[in-house]
């Protein structure tokens, strides 16, 4: 089935998932919407996150997508069950795949999760981990509000980010965790700095790989994987400025001259050919 996969995120962080999807599912076409104008979602109310997510979803449904990927942990925590219940296409979030990857990795049974305020306050990761593994695993949660702005502002080098990352993660030093879940799809862009701060003895998990693996299984199981030999033509939409988004797609996804367009949720004028 040669229909596109829809990917939504609060901003550019979901590109870390899109990159892994492009690597594991090279025949699949993606339409990506990054709501950069209203990013971050983490501090927003549940009602705002739900409304913004549905606006992106309703737009993607007009383009006849065959699968929806919520490449945002905050939006996954708030809307995944609702979207799965209401849509007649497969809907994949990033929390369960990240939890599975961490459970496969940990040997001590002590896992730390970092994310936005919205994701952490939702309790989605501890609930998901307990649902899979019972009570055998200890989960430590920490909200990291400074991290998304660092990524959105391109301040991801060690020189720019190390001190902020070190200070933000300091509360985790009291725990003996061996696995750290990056519970926000922006965070893998800071992974090298985060790994240096937590040390080599901690496995740092991002959900992109496991999410793409789950997508592949669902596509095959439902017989909706793309069998065309044509190269996919991904389209990226941003509700913010186009040029900075183009630069991030080029750098992170290694796509030259990507097709990036602006989208507005304040009016019905949305450019899609």
- Which pLDDT tens digit goes with each residue over 52-92? 999 999 999 999 999 999 999 999 999 999 999 999 999 99
Per-residue pLDDT band at 271 (split at 50, 70, 90)? very low
Active site residue 184: yes
Task: Determine the Cα–Cα distance for residues 254 and 234; give it in Å rounded to an integer.
Answer: 13
Q: Residue 185 above 50 pLDDT?
A: yes
pLDDT of the residue at 136? 87
* Catalytic residue of the set 7, 30, 72, 235: 72
* Catalytic residue of the set 184, 205, 235, 263: 184
pLDDT of the residue at 104? 94
**pTM for the whole structure:** 0.91
Q: What residues are paired with 9 via a beta bridge?
A: 34
Active site residue 72: yes
Task: Determine the Cα–Cα distance for residues 177 and 18; give it in Å rounded to an integer.
Answer: 29
Percentage of the chain modeled with pLDDT above 70: 97
Residue 14 CB neighbour total at 10 angstroms: 27
pLDDT of the residue at 134? 75
Render pLDDT for 212-262 as a digit per residue (tens, 0 to 9): 999 999 999 999 999 888 889 999 999 999 999 999 999 999 999 999 999
Render pLDDT for 14-58 as a digit per residue (tens, 0 to 9): 999 999 999 999 999 999 999 999 999 999 999 999 999 999 999
């Amino acid at each position: 089935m040669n229909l596109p996969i829809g990917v939504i995120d609060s901003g550019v962080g979901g590109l870390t998932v899109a990159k892994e999807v492009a690597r594991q599912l090279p025949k699949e076409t993606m339409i990506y919407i990054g709501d950069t104008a209203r990013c971050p979602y983490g501090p927003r109310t549940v009602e705002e996150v739900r409304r913004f997510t549905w606006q992106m979803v309703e737009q993607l449904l007009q383009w006849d997508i065959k699968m929806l990927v919520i490449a945002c942990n905050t939006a996954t925590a708030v809307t995944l069950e609702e979207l799965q219940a209401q849509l007649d296409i497969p809907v994949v979030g990033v929390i369960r795949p990240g939890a599975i990857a961490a459970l496969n990795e940990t040997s001590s049974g002590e896992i730390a999760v970092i994310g936005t305020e919205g994701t952490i306050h939702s309790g989605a990761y501890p609930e998901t981990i307990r649902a899979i593994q019972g009570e055998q695993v200890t989960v430590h949660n920490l909200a990291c509000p400074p991290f998304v702005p660092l990524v959105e502002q391109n301040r991801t080098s060690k020189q720019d980010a190390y001190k902020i990352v070190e200070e933000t993660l300091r509360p985790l030093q009291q725990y003996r965790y061996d696995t750290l879940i990056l519970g926000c799809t922006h965070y893998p862009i800071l992974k090298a700095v985060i790994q240096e701060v937590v040390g080599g003895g901690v496995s740092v998990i991002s959900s992109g790989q496991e999410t793409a693996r789950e997508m592949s299984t669902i596509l095959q199981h439902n017989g909706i994987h793309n069998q065309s030999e044509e190269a996919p033509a991904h389209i990226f939409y941003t509700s913010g400025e186009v040029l900075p988004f183009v630069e991030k797609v080029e750098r992170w996804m290694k796509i030259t001259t990507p097709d990036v367009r602006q989208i507005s949720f304040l009016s019905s004028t949305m450019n899609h050919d």
